[in-house]
Amino acid sequence: MDELINQAADDLAGARHVVALTGAGISVESGIAPFRGKGGLWEKYDPMEVAHIDAFMRDPGRVWSLLVKDMKVTLDTASPNDGHKGLAKLEEMGILSTVITQNIDGLHQAAGNTDVIEFHGSFARQRCMDCNQKYDTREVDISEIPPRCRCGGILRPDAVFFGEMIPQDAMWRSQQAASDCDLMLVVGTSAVVQPAALMPVYAKQSGAKIIEINPEKTPLTLDISDYLIMGQAGEVMNRIIMQMENK
Ligand code: NAD
Ligand code: ZN
């Protein structure tokens, strides 16, 4: 691994415009379970089913009890780990410009990144399905499930469920960032959820170098990534930053 850490430090230092694409894996070390991979929610339920808009519309209470309630409890107190902090440090060093994240946990902003595209929306707010009123998630009372708006409507996360469209602005800005970068760091994503997984493909097509950080191989590893640094996001990011600071 040492050689690849070295290589990544050199590639980052030499890049003109770096963009990161992150997935649930970067938040694992903050205590948030991913969907796929070891310890993922997939081992308990089929997220495609539980986190699908059709399942939510059919039975919002069930989706709140199985998925959303636990997520609220975890996210209300989660904090950034060394993976998020490493990306914030890269921005501070003037190397990284934009983070495209599939996560809805707000941890990149909490770590200090200032240009974060929330590809799948955010869990920080809940919105009423009847009147569209928004609420800060931490202030939502979950003693009754599903929680309700003052108007009586059911609240839902202001995030994208499977089966829903990507917000147009996030889609457009991500495509732009992917096509403009000369290096993309792909951290902690299984790269199977579309269209997010297309962003490294757009970057590659525009001539960018692709570096993956993940303890497991993904569908990008063979054809799209230049190399995969196999490991946990926090540890790998720490080592890359340390290497860059020592040069
Ligand atoms: P995923 O759950 O499909 O895949 C997680 C990936 O992270 C796997 O490839 C796994 O090998 C890797 N991983 C596990 N531990 C890691 C670590 N310590 N460091 C680096 N990588 C690690 O995640 P996805 O690709 O983001 O797709 C799932 C969808 O679910 C996303 O759209 C996301 O919005 C949503 N989701 C978000 C959160 C969150 O906000 N934190 C959590 C669960 C799911
Ligand atoms: Zn309402």
* pLDDT tens, the chain, 247 aa long: 799 999 999 999 999 999 999 999 999 999 998 887 677 777 777 877 889 999 999 999 999 998 888 888 899 899 999 999 999 999 999 999 999 999 999 999 999 999 999 999 999 999 999 999 999 999 999 999 999 999 999 999 999 999 999 999 999 999 999 999 999 999 999 999 999 999 999 999 999 999 999 999 999 999 999 999 999 999 999 999 999 998 7
Ligand 1 contacts (CB < 6 A) are: 23-29, 32, 34-37, 40, 102-105, 120, 188-190, 193, 213-216, 218, 232-233
Give the residue, by CA position, lying nearest to ligand 1 atom 31. Answer: 102
CA atoms of 79 and 82, how far apart (whole Å): 10
Instruction: Compute, in angstroms, the gap from residue 246 CA to the centroid of ligand 1.
Output: 31
Contact 233, 226 (CB under 8 A): no
Cis-peptide into 147, omega within 30 deg = no
For the chain, the 3-state helix, strand and coil shares in percent, each to the nearest 5, are 45, 20, 35
Give the residue, by CA position, lying nearest to ligand 1 atom 40. Answer: 103
CA atoms of 187 and 101, how far apart (whole Å): 10
Catalytic residues: 120
Give the residue, by CA position, lying nearest to ligand 1 atom 23. Answer: 24
Helix axis angle for 2-14 and 233-245, nearest 10°, is: 60
